[in-house]
């Protein structure tokens, strides 16, 4: 237990450059408080003390702004940065070394029973405001860009952006996990760039045809 508590603190120092001291982290980091409260609530939930588990999770939600259902399974070294507005559903499964930013929802898509929330594999990063919905899997080392809405499976080592979320990068090479989630590919901007290049190419070809036509007309006049 104490090893897990220490890991929860250490991962904050690794991920957050604003962390200055153990006392500051222990007393002021709401993400850390919500994870510790969840560990207690989850233990009670597994022992079928459902009401007490929900009560603890709701008290934690009131003080931290982070709602984690006591039934959710969370691995080691989860880092919730800022955390306000984070929602993690009952059947959600989160692996080790996962990073989640504020406003993220790991939710369901309806009233179906059974496994209805996402599975987040090891080393994934879910950026600000992203929504991952349904019983889908986010593969190892993958990144979900800020504001993305993900409704389908994401392969390992992928970067997903957009609404709906599209896999933009998947090259089989582990993607570096950092906090610079503003520097992600923009598929719409990339498409506009492709169209601009195509227009430039067509304009060049049209100009060449005009030159050839002028030359032919010049020879005809001679």
- Domain boundaries, given as residue ranges, for the chain: 1-174, 185-221
| Cα end-to-end span (Å), the chain | 96
User: How much is the pTM?
Assistant: 0.72
Q: What is the pLDDT of residues 173-200, one digit of tens each?
A: 544 555 455 555 666 777 788 888 889 8
C-alpha–C-alpha distance, residues 178 and 95, integer Å:
17
Distance, CA of 95 to CA of 101 (rounded, Å): 16
Are β-strands 158-161 and 166-170 bridged in parallel, bridged antiparallel, or unpaired?
Answer: antiparallel
Q: What class has domain 1-174?
A: mainly beta
CA angle (6 as vertex; 3, 58 as ends), nearest 5: 100
Q: What is the pLDDT of residues 33-65, one digit of tens each?
A: 999 999 999 999 999 999 999 999 999 999 999
Pairing of strands 87-88, 67-68: parallel
The pairs formed by 88-91 with CB atoms below 8 angstroms and a separation of 24 or more are 88/117, 89/116, 89/117, 89/118, 90/116, 90/117, 91/115, 91/116, 91/117, 91/135
């Amino acid at each position: 237990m104490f090893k897990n508590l220490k890991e929860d603190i250490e991962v904050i120092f690794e991920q957050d450059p604003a962390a200055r001291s153990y006392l500051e982290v222990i007393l002021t980091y709401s993400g850390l408080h919500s994870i510790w409260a969840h560990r207690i609530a989850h233990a009670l939930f597994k022992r079928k003390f459902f009401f007490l588990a929900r009560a603890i999770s709701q008290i934690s939600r009131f003080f931290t702004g982070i709602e984690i259902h006591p039934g959710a399974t969370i691995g080691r070294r989860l880092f919730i940065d800022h955390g306000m507005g984070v929602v993690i559903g009952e059947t959600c499964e989160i692996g080790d070394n996962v990073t989640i930013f504020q406003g993220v929802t790991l939710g369901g898509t309806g009233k179906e029973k059974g496994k209805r929330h996402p599975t987040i594999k090891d080393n994934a990063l879910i950026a600000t405001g992203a929504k991952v919905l349904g019983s889908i899997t986010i593969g190892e080392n993958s990144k979900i860009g800020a504001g993305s809405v993900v409704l389908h499976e994401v392969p390992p080592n992928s970067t997903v952006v957009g609404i709906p979320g599209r896999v933009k990068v998947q090259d089989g090479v582990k993607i570096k996990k950092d906090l610079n989630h503003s520097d992600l590919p923009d598929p719409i901007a990339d498409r506009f760039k492709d169209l601009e290049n195509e227009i430039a190419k067509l304009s060049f070809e049209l100009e060449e045809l005009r030159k050839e036509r002028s030359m032919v007309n010049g020879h005809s006049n001679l």
